[in-house]
Amino acid sequence: MAKKVLLEKAHIKGIRAYDVYKAQGGYASVEKALKMDPAAIVEEVKKSGLRGRGGAGFPTGMKWSFLAKPEGVPRYLVCNADESEPGTFKDRYLMEFLPHLLIEGLIVSSFALGSNSTYIYIRGEYAWIVNILEQAIEEAKQHGYLGKNILNTGFDCEIYVQRGAGAYICGEETALIESLEGKRGNPRIKPPFPAIKGLWDCPTVVNNVETIAAVVPIINMGGEEYAKIGVGRSTGTKLLSACGNINKPGVYEIDMTISVEEFIFSDEYCGGIPNGKRLKACIPGGSSVPILPANLLLKTAKGETRYMNYESLSDGGFATGSMMGSGGFIVLDEDQCIVRHTMSLARFYRHESCGQCSPCREGTGWMEKILTKIENGKGQSSDIDLLWDIQRKIEGNTICPLGDAAAWPVAAAIRHFRDEFEWHVNNPSLCLTENYGLAHYADELSIVS
């Protein structure tokens, strides 16, 4: 049984309420942290090796130590609860079932960073979770953990929940800040980074919900103990949201030492593929990361077992590997069409592009059009090359990483499943009724149970 430090208590009846949460040892980290020097808290987080859980995996302690502290200027902590990357629904789970864990983490983090007004920016569609969080904030306040002079330390802190209104791009931290200022979610050109000039031009840290929640066990057990969970630079636990063609979709906490094969096939996690179907492919870290065919998913190109951690998932780079990303784990069985799935993701990115940079604005629409053509049996061989060309011209040429995020899924689909694209082009009517299935790598698939 893997070690759990976040969801351990998620199943306790009534844990959403303050009294039950508190009786289970809740808010101990606040009691402990508020007696510490803020710099010592940052030090613990550094020692823990915690990496941002929002997708980029940037070391949290380092990010915190970059925060500028000019005299007389407020600093802000903003919690990113925008969660809109297809395949990702872990933050929702955490907020819905353990709202006090997030609030507890936010109080400790706000104290460490010196934020007296902290904002949770939550995607607008999670309307009912706003109420759950506001209730938890109210309870924390009644018990003296929020408000003025918390635990007689002289530290004041308020937490506010701000609802978005439907825009994936507002998960990008500078777009999020713009949105929080009441504007369109157009990402800013960096530098300056938010740590210097963020919300209302003040120094700001933006962290994911899961990152903030992880601060609680880090303070409780100490950074060094936390770092002992996991492996190498993948310390601690990671929440994964598993979906697609699996028997047990849901949110799982893993300690990053298990193999991808175990995660997909064991009953403790995804429970295998339904209806006796075989595994075709998987997008292991949210829609933006490269898709991998089954053979490269379970084993690296060198033939080693692939594990569910940052290093192993990215082993081989984009040529033969992928990324941990946001932990949105999307499984495709043998009946799924790669062209169709890629088309759906291309539509998503076209819809979500903020439109500021032409390679992203024009490129995402163009890719969707070509993919739709190929999917509908109207594509030509040259369209596949054109698609490759367009994605390459988007990557690295835009203000924010959404451009890359739109390019990568298309690139990986062509890289690993080119023959499926060609089959569509060569079989314009057959592809409307039949499926390419596992044709191109059936032999290699013998390694798959």
Partner 1 sequence: MLKFSDNKLKEVKKIIDRYPQGKQKSALIPLLHMAQSEFGGWLSPESMDYIASLLTIDPIEVYEVATFYSMYNLQPVGKHVFEVCQTGPCMLNGSDNIINYIKTKLNIGVGETTEDGLFTLKTVECLGACGYAPMMQLGDHYREHLTKEKVDAIIEECRGKE
Check binding of 264 to ligand SF4 (CB under 6 A): no
Choice between 191 and 303, CB closer to ligand FMN: 191
Give the phi and the psi of residue 121 in degrees, each rounded to 5.
Answer: -95, 110
Our measurement of the distance from residue 434's CA atom to the centroid of its chain's CA atoms, rounded to an integer in Å, reads: 34
CA angle 415, 421, 424 (to 5 degrees): 170
Q: How far is the CB of 115 from ligand SF4 (least distance, A)?
A: 27
356 binds, among partner 1, ligand FMN, ligand SF4, none (CB under 5 to 8 A by kind): ligand SF4
The Cβ of residue 336 has, within 10 Å, a number of other Cβ atoms equal to 17
Nearest to 120 by CA among 140, 134, 139: 134
Binding residues among 186-215 for partner 1 as defined by CB under 8 A: 200
Under the criterion CB under 6 A, does residue 55 sit at the interface with ligand SF4?
no
> Where does this chain touch ligand SF4 (CB under 6 A) — which range of 272-280, 304-312, 377-385, 399-407?
399-407
- What is 350-394 written as a DSSP string? HHH--S-SHHHHHHHHHHHHHHHHHHTT---HHHHHHHHHHHHHH
Shortest reach from residue 348's CB to partner 1, in Å: 5
User: Rounded CA gap, 17 and 162, in Å?
Assistant: 21
Residue 361's binding partner out of partner 1, ligand SF4, ligand FMN, none, with CB under 5 to 8 Å set by partner kind: ligand SF4
Task: For the CB of residue 372, give the shortest distance to ligand SF4 in the complex, in Å.
Answer: 20
Helix (H) or strand (E) holding 333: strand 328-333
Smallest distance, ligand SF4 to C-beta of residue 211, A: 22
Among 109, 110, 179, 237, binds partner 1 (CB under 8 A): 179
Residues 194-213 that bind ligand SF4 (CB under 6 A): none
Q: Give the C-alpha separation, 365 to 135, whole Å.
A: 42
398 binds ligand SF4 (CB under 6 A): yes
- Give the binding range for partner 1 (CB under 8 A) out of 62-70, 120-128, 190-198, 379-387: 120-128
Among 29, 80, 287, 314, contact with partner 1 (rule: CB under 8 A): 287
**Cβ atoms of 260 and 308 closer than 8 Å:** yes
- Contact flag: residue 117 with partner 1 (CB under 8 A): yes
Cα 311 from Cα 345, distance rounded (Å): 25
- Between CA 61 and CA 109 the distance in angstroms is 11
Which of ligand FMN, partner 1, ligand SF4, none lies near 328, with the C-beta cut-off 5 to 8 A by kind? partner 1
The Cα–Cα gap between 144 and 167 comes to 35
Per-residue tokens: 229: 């969970």
The 3-class secondary structure across 121-154, one letter per residue, is EECCCCHHHHHHHHHHHHHHHHCCCCEEEECCCC
Closer residue to partner 1 in complex, CB, 119/436:
119
Distance, CA of 365 to CA of 375 (rounded, Å):
15
- Quick check: 203 and 209 in contact, CB under 8 A? no
- In this chain, which of 361, 415, 418, 440 binds ligand SF4, going by CB under 6 A? 361
Positions that interact with ligand FMN (CB under 6 A): 52-56, 58, 60, 80, 82-85, 169, 171-173, 206-208, 211, 400-402, 405
Nearer to ligand SF4, 99 or 286 (CB): 286
Which spans of this chain sit near partner 1 (rule: CB under 8 A)?
A: 74, 83-89, 91-92, 117, 119, 123-128, 158, 160, 162-168, 179-185, 200, 241-245, 249-251, 287, 328, 330, 332, 336, 340-341, 344-345, 347-348, 351-352, 354
Which spans of this chain sit near ligand SF4 (rule: CB under 6 A)?
A: 169, 187, 353-357, 360-361, 398-400, 402-403
